[in-house]
Structure 1
Amino acid sequence: MPSKEQQNGVDITNPYEIAKRLIERATESLHLPKGVYEILKKPTRVMKVSIPIRKDNGEYVSYTGIRSQHIDILGPTKGGVRFHQNVNEDEVIALSMWMSLKSALIGLPFGGGKGGIIVDPHELSNRELEELSRGYIRELEPIIGPAKDVPAPDVNTNQQIMGWMLDEFDRLSGRSVPGFITGKPIVIGGSAGRIEATGRGVVISIIEAAKRLNLKLDNLTAVIQGFGNVGSITAKLLHQHGVKVIAITDAKGGAYSPNGLDVMNLIDYVNENGTVKGFKDSINITNKELFSLDCDILVPAALENQITSKTAPTIKAKIVAEAANGPTTPEGNHVMEEKGIFVIPDILCNAGGVTVSYFEWVQNSMNYFWKEDEINEKLQEKLVHAFESVYMMKEEKRVSMRESAYLVGVGRLAEAMKARGWIKKWKMPIDC
């Protein structure tokens, strides 16, 4: 997707351009050497592969796979694999850059990686999907592994797909390598708490934001865009904390009830019907209408570029928790800042997934597994500490939460560059 210049109110919607711009601003604010931005503005490696598969009708079709490895200065690159018809190189690069910042921000020994295949997985049979998943790993095998690059689930991928990918990598390696991939089924080395990790992290961040704003959870209402793994778990956990979830949308429609949706029954309904649309005692609602609802918390949990110069002015929420990656354009962010909305940026808000993936990777390396309560406790500790670091930077530098998160993440990457001798004669002006 080509980028658009941000002038006369036009949004930049290319995620790679957005990521570079935010990183450049952070390096300037921290008075870093120009070389830091030069290193961070491009991925170390991008690999594009062709994956031919035999369809059920006997014909062969070739799909394009992409993997971006941004920087491995803190450790092996780490990031999900998405199957979507709109996957493109700039998107994958941007997502790998955000993963680098996310890992640095949380304090994980990972760099940023991301991958994808240009495909609508809903058009494939189960056998075709398995063949595609295995083919992706075969083509990328030279550059991936537990000490190189560790994949994980993302949009339209799940535990089963991770299991196929692990099995293929084990076959290629001639041995069991459970730490090669995370988000896999527990029976083959997955971690307790991984499925709920991203949504749980979103809710932890919302709770911390509510504390700073002196808001009581049981008095709040929430709306959620997207009802996949992250959106549904976020809804369930918010409901358990007393928040009234009044509206949810997905790719096929939406459901709204001013008195609150019965989240647990809604999850069952979606499992049976494939959409929230038509849920009992609810009103059909569009994404556009969802953004403009009177509520306290808005959770974009779908794809990129949802909060724009057109949708941001309609938002009435006090807190926007970015469960998706890159859901906000620069112009949309500017509008929310002017309105005084407390934004929990994506690289902080949705970091629960990579955090528990890290726990899974550690457990695989020592062949000892923690209980789910221990996982959730460790996750809470990591994310609360990260939130506090970002909030303190925000107060110290008098900037937005988004800019503060980039300052902390970029600052820690720069410290690693200094420690390795990549940059010299520079001192961090503020504790990151």
Structure 2
Amino acid sequence: MPTTLATKEDLNFNRIVSKQFDRAAQYLKIHSSLLNQIKACNNVYYFQFPVRFGGDKYELFEGWRAEHSQHKKPVKGGIRFSELVNQDEIMALAALMTYKCAIVDVPFGGSKGGVRFNPKKYSDEQIEKITRRFTAELIRKEYLGPGENVPGPDVGTGEREMAWMADTYDAFNPGGIDNLACVTGKPVAQGGIHGRREATGRGVQFGIREAFQHSEDLKKLGLTPGLEGKTVVFQGFGNVGYYAAKFLSEEDGCKVVGIAEWDAAVYNPQGLTIEELNEFRKETGSIKNFPGAETLPSPDSIWDVPCDILIPAALENQVTLENCDRINCKVLAEAANGPTTPGAEERLHNRGVFIIPDIFLNAGGVTVSYFEWGKNLSHMRFGRLQKHLEEIKNQKLVSTIEKMIGKPVPEEDKKYLVRGPEELDLVNSGLEETMVTAYRSIREVHRTRVPKESMRTAAFIIAIKKVALTYEQLGIFP
């Protein structure tokens, strides 16, 4: 059944993604049959499974794993634990993963999975049992494996759950040399990679930073290049929202003036101190009544806060026809998956709001997951072979410079110049290169082919073309 508001807006996420696909497909000369193949979700595994919580207490859970496209293998996508999980949502998110991976040139097809329950209502021991049983069900049907289907964290899951999934897979496949590559987003000590935890937020930072380098685009918005002093509002302060807010404020000089969570919203026109807010939340369980800001009347009040950049970083369908006219921003940067409905997007676009689309902006997570997957298959930490060699070369270069100028290089500068790259340096460098290259490609298509459309349509055009090319080159078997 379609979900509707008083405005009769269809909020079925799967149909929304299909509409976005169709809007871009009309600009491409690709056979309709191939377009239908690209758009369709190839298969969905729905199942119910019981979990025993001690004695004779049993509970039945519903789980899903969708594989949208196998044009590239393995397929890739997160595992979501939420009471809101349903099949249409999982299929839509799997489709977005296909297009997202294509845009940033990550060689995966799209997938997504989830279990319908609220982890806040269960103990850690119970969540572990649910996770391991869910994993066992995926293994039974070959929906999990380094070369087949590689999950990662999503809403309601994190490093802990990924470690449990990897351990369960290893128990079912003893001696498998590449077993750690069956999931990404693991703790570093369990085969994870430095930088994965904050990767989506870091990618949001890099994507917005690149968008603010193009003075021609910014002039139309009444903005100047660079992020220094730009005001930002976040709707959502989970993993993605926290890290994006932290990096944009501490490293780029943005002023984060408002943040909303599910239970409260806070506002400070002078700028919020992100670490202090995060520590307050850890201590109290909420951002409500944070002493460094005004607590707004309701979480919904965040839409009324004026800013240069509004960043939805929570769930889908948050910016709708019901609230979009209240929004007062110049750039809407989608850190969440599908936060803006088509109707709201059209209104905002017609008002001149510049939208940086989700299928590009939140691709940092899957990009660094790709690095982690490659690390697991190579069984080698990034930087281990070259770090010391780079430092030797750099030391010789600095010594040569000192001889030429006749005085020593300042010690702090010398340490910076000599230091070889750690794994985190390489991960962040690769992520920034990926986000910058992808943004410039989208901008070029938008500027030259669909200047009257939104950036989302340009991003979909790129994704569809890349997936279509792969299908054409693969041919059809038999």
TM over 0.5: same fold? yes
How far apart are the structure 1 equivalents of 2:124 and 2:379? 31
| 1:9 CA displacement | 5.7
Q: Is the 8 Å Cα contact of residues 3 and 17 (structure 1) preserved in structure 2?
A: no
- Corresponding residue for residue 193 of structure 1: 195
Match of 2:69 in 1: 71
In structure 1, the partner of 2:402 is none
Asked if the contact 1:10/1:331 (under 8 Å) is kept, the reply is no
Cα distance, 1:282 vs structure 2: 1.3
Residue aligning to 1:408:
462
Q: Once the 2 structures are TM-superposed, how far is the Cα of residue 56 of structure 1 from its aligned partner?
A: 4.6
1:226-275 per-residue CA deviation (whole Å, 9 max, x = no partner) reads: 11100000110011110000111111111111111111111111111222
Quote the offset at 1:293 in angstroms: 1.1
Corresponding position of 1:156: 156
Match of 1:366 in 2: 378
Q: Is the 8 A contact 1:65 1:115 kept in 2?
A: yes
The answer for the alignment partner of 1:276 in structure 2 is 287
d(CA) in 2 for partners of 1:222 and 1:34? 42
What does 1:88-237 align with in structure 2 at a 5 Å threshold? 88-141=86-139, 142-176=142-176, 177-212=179-214, 213=218, 214-237=224-247
- Structure 1 residue 238 corresponds to structure 2 residue 248: yes
CA contact (8 A) 1:202 1:349 kept: yes
Cα gap change, 1:9/1:215 in structure 2, threshold over 3 Å: closer, same or farther? farther
Once residues 55 and 280 of structure 2 are traced to their aligned partners in structure 1, the CA distance between those partners, rounded to angstroms, is 34
Quick check: 1:12–1:330 contact (8 Å CA) kept in 2?
no
Note the C-alpha offset of 1:290. 1.0
Distance change in 2, residues 1:126/1:396 (3 Å): same
1:335 is aligned to 347
Identify which of 45, 52, 59 aligns with 2:43: 45
Q: Which moved more, 1:398-407 or 1:109-118?
A: 398-407
SS at match of 1:194: coil
Which of the numbers 248, 264, 267 marks the counterpart of 2:278? 267
CA distance in 2, matches of 1:403, 1:302: 22
Cα distance, 1:26 vs. partner? 1.9
Instruction: Judge conservation of contact 2:263–2:299 (CA < 8 Å) in 1.
Output: no
Which digits, 9 at most, give the CA deviation of each residue in 1:348-390, with x for residues without a partner?
0100000000000000000112210110000000110000010
Counterpart in 1 of 2:22?
A: 24
2:364 and 2:282 map into 1 onto residues whose CA distance is: 24
Q: Which is greater in Rg?
A: 2
Gaps of 5+ in 1: 424-432
Q: Which amino acid aligns with 1:403?
A: T
Q: Indicate whether 1:249 and 2:303 are aligned.
A: no
How far off is 1:52 after superposition?
Answer: 1.0
Residue equivalent to 2:335:
323
User: Aligned AA for 1:167?
Assistant: D
TM-score normalised per structure 1: 0.95
Alpha-carbon contact 1:56-1:128 (below 8 Å) kept: no
CA shift at 1:331, angstroms?
0.4
Q: How much does 1:35 deviate?
A: 1.0
Judge conservation of contact 2:268–2:294 (CA < 8 Å) in 1.
Answer: yes
Partner Cα separation in structure 2 for residue 101 and residue 422 of structure 1: 21
Task: Judge which range, 283-292 or 385-394, deviates more.
Answer: 283-292
Q: Which residue matches 2:398?
A: none
2:323, 2:299 → 1: CA distance?
10
Percent identity over the alignment is 37
Distance in 1 between residues matched to 2:14 and 2:51, nearest whole Å: 30
AA matched with 2:462:
V
Question: Shift of residue 117 of structure 1?
Answer: 0.2
2: CA distance, partners of 1:229 / 1:408: 28
Post-superposition shift, 1:12? 2.1
SS in 2 for 1:81: strand
Q: Which residue type is aligned with residue 409 of structure 1?
A: A
Letter of the 1:344 counterpart: I
**CA–CA separation in structure 2 for the residues paired with 1:299 and 1:287:** 14
Q: What letter corresponds to residue 254 of structure 2 in structure 1?
A: V
Cα separation, 2, equivalents of 1:248 and 1:50: 37
Which runs of structure 1 show a deviation greater than 3 angstroms over 4 or more consecutive aligned residues? none
The farther-off stretch of 350-359 and 9-18 is: 9-18
Contact 2:153 2:159 in 1 (8 A): yes
Q: CA RMSD in A?
A: 1.6
Give the Cα separation in 2 of the matches to 1:26 and 1:325: 18
Q: C-alpha separation between the residues in 1 aligned to 2:364 and 2:266?
A: 27
Query: How many Å apart are 1:143 and its aligned residue?
Result: 2.2
Instruction: Name whichever of 374-383 and 45-54 sits farther off.
Output: 45-54
Specify every segment of 5 or more residues in structure 2 that has no aligned partner in the other structure, as ranges: 219-223, 383-422
Q: Deviations over 1:79-135 (max 9, x none)?
A: 000000010000000000000000000001100000000001111111110000000
Query: In the aligned structure 1, how far is the partner of 2:341 from the partner of 2:321?
Result: 8
Cα distance in 2 for partners of 1:57, 1:306 equals 42
Tell me if structure 1 keeps the 8 A contact 2:209–2:226: no
Corresponding position of 1:428: none
Q: Is 2:7–2:322's contact at 8 Å kept on the other side of the alignment? A: no
Q: C-alpha separation between the residues in 1 aligned to 2:242 and 2:425?
A: 20
Distance 1:405 1:422 in 2: 26
Rounded to whole Å, the distance in 2 between the matches of 1:9 and 1:254 is: 25
Cα shift at 1:421 = 2.2
SS in 2 for 1:13: coil
